[in-house]
Structure 1
Amino acid sequence: YSFGMQCLLIYSVLVSSICIYLFLLFYMFLMLKLDHAYPADELMPLTCRGRVRGLEPSRGDVDDALGKFSLTLIDTLDTLVLLNKTEEFEEAVRRVLKDVRLDNDVVVSVFETNIRVLGGLLGGHSMAVMLKGGGQHMLWYEDELLHMARDLGLRLLPAFNTSSGLPYPRINLRHGVVGPETRTGTETDTCTACAGTIILEFAALSRFTGDPVFEAHARRALDFLWEKRQRNSNLVGTTINIHSGEWVRRDSGVGAGIDSYYEYLLKAYVLLGDDQFLQRFNIHYASIMKYISQPPLLLDVHIHKPRLPARTWMDSLLAFFPGLQVLKGDIRPAIETHEMLYQVTRKHNFLPEAFTTDFQVHWAQHPLRPEFAESTYFLYKATRDPYYLDVGRTVLENLNRFARVPCGFRCYEGTCNGLLFLAEMFKYLFLLFAEDEDLPFDVEDYVFTTEAHLLPLSLSTALRSSSPPQTTPQIYELDDANFEWTCPNTRLLFPDPAYPRSLREPIRSAVDKSCPRPAPPREAGLGRAPLRAQDFMANSPEHLELLRRMGVSLIHLKDGRVQLVQHASQAVSAVAAEDGMRFMQEMMELSSQQQKEQLPPRAVQIISHPFLGRVVLTAGPAQFGMDLSKSSLGVRGFVAVVEPYSGCSELTNAEFVAGRIALLQRGQCMFAEKARHIQKAGAIGGIVIDDNEGSSSDTAPLFQMAGDGRSTDDVTLPLLFLFHKEGSILLQALKEHREVEVLLSEKARDRGKPRNEALLCFCSFLPVSSLFHSFISIVFITLSLSISFFLSCCLTFARSLSPPTDEQKPYLRGGPFLAPCQMAVSNLSSSSSFCTAVFIESTPDGLHSTALFRSSALVYRAP
């Protein structure tokens, strides 16, 4: 008994230490944000600088959350109170009131702004009211945060001005959605979660302010989604047209695109006490468990054919669902799905952004999502099983081990959103390890929004919406009314403390059989090398850790390549050093084999005027996609810069890219993923430009783009690689000429030399002040054009041209064909003369003429 009490005491001290550590970690990173990034929306953890929208490279849709309103500070207000930092909370509120302005000419996501900014202001207002009621803090507070929340709510309302009541996905905070100045309002589709994750914040705003308009709009959107469900399966699709209500994407699941719609139906019932929300959730939940749930998996299906799977992989956003099942009271499937997610996390150190049904990595990104930590917290609250404390500790250890950087935590191979981490991850991990007596208030009196903001349950007795329901009341037959309308007592249902473990064991075994965990580096000389060269992935945290243990370091070279170097003395053991030597030998053999299979360089030829094929850029090939060596014509098209520039997510300018050759930047994801995104957008080819400044095909060896370790048979367009120097030439051409056409081919094509040339220079030394100056200029230009055109059709002159000097190049951008006039034009007296030069050439691409007129030290070029 004494030994048992000592163990319990040690465990309690350990949990308390983790809790204190989390507190210090959150506080430290918030202070870093205020010191290095305030009032920017985000702190960039790698550079310790603030992210200001428009000043940093775009991350695509992720940046739609940034509205120049100190997002991080607003998003973490209620967390400060949860950590009992009331004085810091009071100072943070003063900062928000002093510095934050919402009248910004910026386009933001309605969904993100609602859950983060509006939710953050309402959560902060809830905490301020509670503290003021205690009589010690915030005594000066007069609902200022609520007034700001109402201002933001009014700015979001124009987004709901659609025939369906579903909101536009984006809105301009200053101008709304109507008019060219808004730079939005043309979107036709939105995701189900985007339209269905409004009710908590908008209803709370109505209940706090007494203005029912906000709750009425949110209810109308939910009513419309409910009416548009597939009546046979009672499932909703992923993407819907906001005007017609037609489903654009008919796949249905509990992950990305739908997740928080289900969450808000159940939580709206908890917060508002409206039975209609629970009734709808129960109908959906029954269908989810019938069609989507394949314990422990949750697989997307087609809404019209719910027995038919829509895909064979799952995304990480479904990790919230076990927590929602706890709130529902369905503990068993929550334990099973959570355990499956935990075993996947253990095998890959983080939960991949997407993973297959055999638990292999499908998308190798991890943007620090908090959903798994959220479900871990709710399962611990429901079962009080210390196992979930161990799960939380594993999550925290992996974050510290693989993601920690001086100014925060970095993402892996994806578009990162640090707000998810500070606002949610920290909060759920802290609550997991905190005892009830450590908290300044009872969290059971509040509902967590999808962004983990706290809204008080007392709102259920406040002002109710004055808008009648949009749907016809219906009576649904439920299989088990007691289960559907009550929350079960898990301690009565599962009195045996070993019951959760009995559910977890089969799941653990199933995952181990489907996806065996890589063996750790040998410490006793048993087994083969833990990592084979052909399996190595430079973006895998697990592989990098194995290299470290073997004494192998990875060095990134300036030309974009990576170099492996082994120092046997740095290996964790002699056997690990031996494994490292074996790995290096395999890698050299693999490199030698790949060099034998080296593909020849390709060509990017600029063929539009005025280049006419004379500019040829050496390009590296891809080991996948269309083989240009088998095409006699190559691929010809106008180039278009993609948005986002990395091409690592769906393109926001897909309509512009369609039918063109996409121009994108290296980095942030695999080349094959970039190719798939531009191909999906309708591009006919792609050119990837190196992000390593100064790299050139003159000094670097040929670079070949490899696949992503999976089948790339689905990529059918050609993809070429340009080093930074060559890429800059193409970008400069695009900057100077609105439309640039290129040819992607195995080798440069001979565009032909000018066949018929005529060159005339007319110079006259007349005073600039002459009244006939302008008249004579026009006559000379007209005459010279006429004569030159006639001569170009009849004569062929041999040229022997010297290259233009550096001073003359700005005047000769049309090409070297103007060089014969360079002396005539440049040697004139700028104060007393003028000169007209006309050149006409006939090429295989057509007839091109250029006129050059100089007077009073000014040079005009008129093609």
Structure 2
Amino acid sequence: MESRVHYTITCWRQLCLCSICIYTTFQGSPGISMMLRALLLTSLLSWANGQEGLTMLPEEKSKIRDQIVEMFDHAYGSYMKYAYPADELMPLSCRGRVRGLEPNRGDIDDSLGKFSLTLVDTLDTLVVLNKLDEFEDAVRRTLRDVRLDNDVVVSVFETNIRVLGGLLGAHVMADMLRQRGERMQWYRDELLHMAKELGHRLLPAFNTSSGLPYPRVNLRYGVLNPLSRTGTESDTCTACAGTMILEFAALSRLSGEAVFEEHARKALDVLWEKRQRGSDLVGTVINIHNGDWVRRDSGVGAGIDSYYEYLMKAYILLGDNVYLERFNTHYSAIMKYISQPPLLLNVHMHNPTVSVRSWMDSLLAFFPGLQVLRGDLKPAIETHEMLYQVTKQHKFLPEAFTTEFRVHWGQHPLRPEFAESTYYLYKATGDPYYLRVGQSIVEKLNAHARVPCGFAAVQDVRTGTHEDRMDSFFLAEMFKYLYLLFSEKNQLHFDIDDYIFTTEAHLLPVSLSTSQPPCRGNNTEAPTAVEEDLFTYSCPSTQTLFPNNPSFAKTIRDSYKYLTGVGRAFHASPDRGIELPLHDHGMEPVEFLRSMGISLTPLNEAGATETHGAHEGVYRVKLVAEVTQTPEEEVVPLIVQLISPPYLGRMVLTAGPAKFGMDLIKQEHGVKGSIVKTSPYTACGPIENAQELSGHIALALRGDCMFAAKARRLQEAGAIGVIFIDHREGSNSAETPLFQMVGDGGPTADITIPLVFLFSQEGALLTSALEDHSNVDVLMLPKERQLDKADKPLGKMNIKFRLAEEGELEEGDARGPTLKFVLEKGEVVLEEEEYRQQGDSCLTPGGDVLCSYGQTAASSPSHSPNDPNTDPGSQDSRVPQPPPTDHKPWAPQH
């Protein structure tokens, strides 16, 4: 019997990525085969001794920069070949996306105006990447083909930042090249004229009683025209109204028409006046007619993000202290209420001490870059490192992820915000660690997003499936920031420090601050008198504040190395070996590995990363490896045991604990009670069935608010305990490591009832039982008290190897540092007593696992899984059932 599989083992040790190609050969008895497959996880930790922060040589930077240019050529070339003059490329279909011809995607299509969006959005990127011939050709195409009077309803926000910003950035670049006498001598400000035309087509959106713009406008008919098909909206997001000042002010100062800057400034004035005076925070959605807040949750992500960004950048671009004073006021509130390092959690603007949700969206990834602009490096490094750990765990930043760093929304539309913050941090610190972060972005894009006709968005980071879209911001922003990250100043065609980036990464010259601003009249209120210090009015010298910057940044990052749980700390024993239990309270070996910080990924899904200073070639490894966990706090598994008829204790569900509430470990006999479903099921509003819940254990759904908020409401309703059920379909304790529920960041000593967490599949069994029987009694207690002696771990097995170089890379193997593991029967040393106890009796005739590791056949349940007289719940939940014939129990689960 022979089985072979390729994997990479990712070991989070000193933030070092060790990519190892494992080539396994299983021979011999089914028992040995089963054990070796279960232990296909040998991690050569002593070999993975690369260190973070090693200097990246100029040759390597140049190689990566050339790779970025090639990637841009592939994406831009695919758009021009398959999609132009359409707004966007559909990279899976290899054709253009034309609004009205493709199925409507809702609001996302409001960025498409039949104005060759991707071309216009990419213009100044061509200059940054030194593609001047392509830039001149693209400008000519824009002037020849792009029309702005289309009968299309578009987003005011998206059209402003992408199209108006793209035209202005391209005009600035064209004018710069023309003044140098190198190129564009034929250019006569045609792009600026187009920008002014578009500005006038957007102005009708500001025709509201408050001065806040409508969210949509018809490019031909405006807003209130009967033919416009818009103008009925009543509210807009804060970012939509507050992200106009850079483009509109630049347009005013370049064209001499003050009306644009005046309208954008008025919108900012309204948002400032409507802030919550007690917290100095703003909400997410506001009524455009009366200025009332529609959604009062406040954060730094979607719906608000670029409002804060534009206050800071308006000060840099225009030199007006009012913008800086407003930004500093908001920033102090953000750091006081929203920032929970390294997390940034939304709060209620009127009650900012309580978080309103337990997840974060990916758009907040821009915020570390904004903090760098302000000179606040420490929290920028903290949040960026948290985001980097999330990308390590999921390959990309999911659109939203929980405070436990699990996927909330799985999409990833190739957003550039994380690359943006990486660029700013490298520029501020000079720490080559951020070059390695940028390198990982490049590699993941090539490995997981590249398709024959460009780059495709990821529909779900958990499965790696693609979506048929390549948004224009991918070309406008991603490649710009990545190219600049790996470029020296003397390699650029112009001084990048003479420009400020808009939120779409378009370049506007900071020299605009010397232009005469338009008359402001009474639009801007006098700044609030607040006590300020010099720090808030300057970009402080980080070398003075934080000498030896790389060490300073590394010290901060070290605190968040194992934040996501992917890489918990461990240290090697003196003999450089690995010891793995055959059974760990029901955990399969793959999950046990994950709990130690070792993850298995198929090699064809993970691009190999070349570690600095690593050995080249393929190695045959025959080395004793041993890992021991540090005595860090571990997650103690709990159970929910159904004890009422007909179950009588035979249905046992694995549950996760909470870091607050009653400690079930200290309760000798656990907590017993009847379960009652909460109404509303999420327990995020007033409890409607409090009388029914009193004296019972509440059943509540995860989501919409924090665990602590749910627990308080249910405790006040009289519940004696709470069982939370995961809202994500298909989650289960067999494939997902347990975690501890956390509070809301504030004191939780007032919560005294026991709390446990069930994944979706286990929760479904419990809710089904409640539907089938009028009364279901359960017992909540630690899992170890439900185990009998026969189920205890029997011990460990050692696998011994030695290291010997063996030839070059084989064709098809991943590039970079690679190891080849060869496990052969004669080289595996087992502790004979333990192996005899395990025996072959736990195997089916085909070699599949039937009982738990460390469990003898005699201790397994005596009933047959197929016995119709056996209640399904009577099977021991710790015993894995026979997998399908093609199932490989040693393969990683995705």
The Cα of 1:170 is off from its aligned counterpart by 0.6
Per-residue CA deviation, residues 269-301 of structure 1 (Å, 9 max, x unaligned), is 000000100010000000001111111111110
Q: What does residue 17 of structure 1 align with? A: 63
Conserved 8 A contact 2:562-2:569: no
The Cα of 1:361 is off from its aligned counterpart by 1.5
The Cα of 1:35 is off from its aligned counterpart by 1.3
CA distance in 2, matches of 1:43, 1:398: 21
The Cα of 1:496 is off from its aligned counterpart by 2.2
Q: Could you list the runs of 5+ residues in structure 2 that have no partner in the other structure? A: 1-52, 461-466, 571-576, 592-597, 607-619, 623-678, 681-726, 730-758, 769-894
Q: What does residue 251 of structure 1 align with? A: 297
CA distance in 1, matches of 2:331, 2:528: 17
The Cα of 1:180 is off from its aligned counterpart by 3.1
The Cα of 1:467 is off from its aligned counterpart by 2.3
Give the secondary-structure state (helix, strand or coil) at the position aligned to 2:391. Answer: helix
**1:185 matched to 2:231:** yes
Choose the corresponding residue for 2:90, options 44, 59, 69: 44
The Cα of 1:179 is off from its aligned counterpart by 3.0
Q: What does residue 107 of structure 1 align with? A: 153
**Residues 396 and 227 (structure 1 numbering): CA distance in 2 closer, same or farther, change over 3 Å?**
same
Q: What does residue 495 of structure 1 align with? A: 547
494-503 or 467-476: bigger deviation = 467-476
Per-residue CA deviation, residues 451-476 of structure 1 (Å, 9 max, x unaligned), is 00000111111130212242431442
CA distance in 2, matches of 1:151, 1:543: 55
The Cα of 1:244 is off from its aligned counterpart by 1.0
CA distance in 2, matches of 1:122, 1:528: 64
Could you say which structure has the higher helix fraction? 1
Conserved 8 A contact 2:393-2:566: no
Q: What does residue 261 of structure 1 align with? A: 307
The Cα of 1:9 is off from its aligned counterpart by 9.2
**1:229 matched to 2:275:** yes
Q: What does residue 280 of structure 1 align with? A: 326
**Residues 15 and 227 (structure 1 numbering): CA distance in 2 closer, same or farther, change over 3 Å?**
same
Percent identity between matched residues is 62
CA distance in 2, matches of 1:187, 1:125: 33
Q: Could you list the runs of 5+ residues in structure 1 that have no partner in the other structure? A: 1-6, 518-522, 536-541, 551-571, 575-624, 627-671, 675-706, 717-863
The Cα of 1:28 is off from its aligned counterpart by 2.8
CA distance in 2, matches of 1:140, 1:524: 70
Choose the corresponding residue for 1:127, options 173, 176, 184: 173
Per-residue CA deviation, residues 407-437 of structure 1 (Å, 9 max, x unaligned), is 1222222675521211111111111111111
Choose the corresponding residue for 2:188, options 142, 155, 158: 142
Conserved 8 A contact 1:368-1:411: yes
Normalised by the length of structure 1, the TM-score is 0.60
Q: What does residue 260 of structure 2 align with? A: 214
The Cα of 1:547 is off from its aligned counterpart by 9.3
**Residues 10 and 351 (structure 1 numbering): CA distance in 2 closer, same or farther, change over 3 Å?**
closer
Conserved 8 A contact 1:62-1:417: no
Question: Which amino acid in structure 2 is aligned with residue 123 of structure 1?
Answer: G
CA distance in 1, matches of 2:407, 2:99: 32
Per-residue CA deviation, residues 62-83 of structure 1 (Å, 9 max, x unaligned), is 1110000001110010011111
Conserved 8 A contact 1:223-1:469: no
Give the secondary-structure state (helix, strand or coil) at the position aligned to 2:354. Answer: coil
Greater RCO, 1 or 2 (C-alpha within 8 Å, sep 6+): 2
Conserved 8 A contact 2:89-2:470: no
Conserved 8 A contact 1:358-1:514: no
Question: Which amino acid in structure 1 is aligned with residue 543 of structure 2?
Answer: R
**Residues 441 and 548 (structure 1 numbering): CA distance in 2 closer, same or farther, change over 3 Å?**
closer
CA distance in 1, matches of 2:398, 2:760: 15
Q: What does residue 657 of structure 1 align with? A: none
Per-residue CA deviation, residues 249-284 of structure 1 (Å, 9 max, x unaligned), is 000000000000000000000000001000100000
Conserved 8 A contact 2:211-2:267: yes
Question: Which amino acid in structure 1 is aligned with residue 514 of structure 2?
Answer: T
Normalised by the length of structure 2, the TM-score is 0.58
Question: Which amino acid in structure 2 is aligned with residue 85 of structure 1?
Answer: K
Conserved 8 A contact 2:55-2:432: no
Conserved 8 A contact 1:227-1:471: no
Conserved 8 A contact 2:54-2:433: no
Q: What does residue 215 of structure 2 align with? A: 169
The Cα of 1:352 is off from its aligned counterpart by 1.4
Per-residue CA deviation, residues 625-678 of structure 1 (Å, 9 max, x unaligned), is 99xxxxxxxxxxxxxxxxxxxxxxxxxxxxxxxxxxxxxxxxxxxxx899xxxx
Per-residue CA deviation, residues 362-383 of structure 1 (Å, 9 max, x unaligned), is 1112111110000000000000
**Residues 48 and 515 (structure 1 numbering): CA distance in 2 closer, same or farther, change over 3 Å?**
farther
The Cα of 1:126 is off from its aligned counterpart by 0.1
Aligned residues: 554
Question: Which amino acid in structure 2 is aligned with residue 489 of structure 1?
Answer: S
Work out which of the two has the higher radius of gyration on C-alpha atoms and give 1 or 2: 1
CA distance in 1, matches of 2:82, 2:398: 30
Per-residue CA deviation, residues 738-776 of structure 1 (Å, 9 max, x unaligned), is xxxxxxxxxxxxxxxxxxxxxxxxxxxxxxxxxxxxxxx
CA distance in 1, matches of 2:144, 2:436: 42
Q: What does residue 371 of structure 1 align with? A: 417
**Residues 102 and 10 (structure 1 numbering): CA distance in 2 closer, same or farther, change over 3 Å?**
closer
Q: What does residue 101 of structure 2 align with? A: 55
Q: What does residue 745 of structure 1 align with? A: none
Conserved 8 A contact 1:19-1:433: yes
CA distance in 2, matches of 1:532, 1:50: 47
Conserved 8 A contact 2:284-2:304: yes
The Cα of 1:131 is off from its aligned counterpart by 0.2
Q: What does residue 435 of structure 2 align with? A: 389
Conserved 8 A contact 2:91-2:470: no
Alpha-carbon RMSD? 3.5
Conserved 8 A contact 1:80-1:89: yes
CA distance in 2, matches of 1:241, 1:185: 13
CA distance in 1, matches of 2:501, 2:379: 22
Question: Which amino acid in structure 1 is aligned with residue 536 of structure 2?
Answer: E
Q: What does residue 503 of structure 2 align with? A: 450
The Cα of 1:308 is off from its aligned counterpart by 1.0
Q: What does residue 535 of structure 2 align with? A: 483
**Residues 512 and 524 (structure 1 numbering): CA distance in 2 closer, same or farther, change over 3 Å?**
closer
**Residues 545 and 510 (structure 1 numbering): CA distance in 2 closer, same or farther, change over 3 Å?**
closer
Q: What does residue 313 of structure 1 align with? A: 359
Conserved 8 A contact 1:170-1:185: yes
**Residues 254 and 488 (structure 1 numbering): CA distance in 2 closer, same or farther, change over 3 Å?**
same
CA distance in 2, matches of 1:473, 1:427: 38
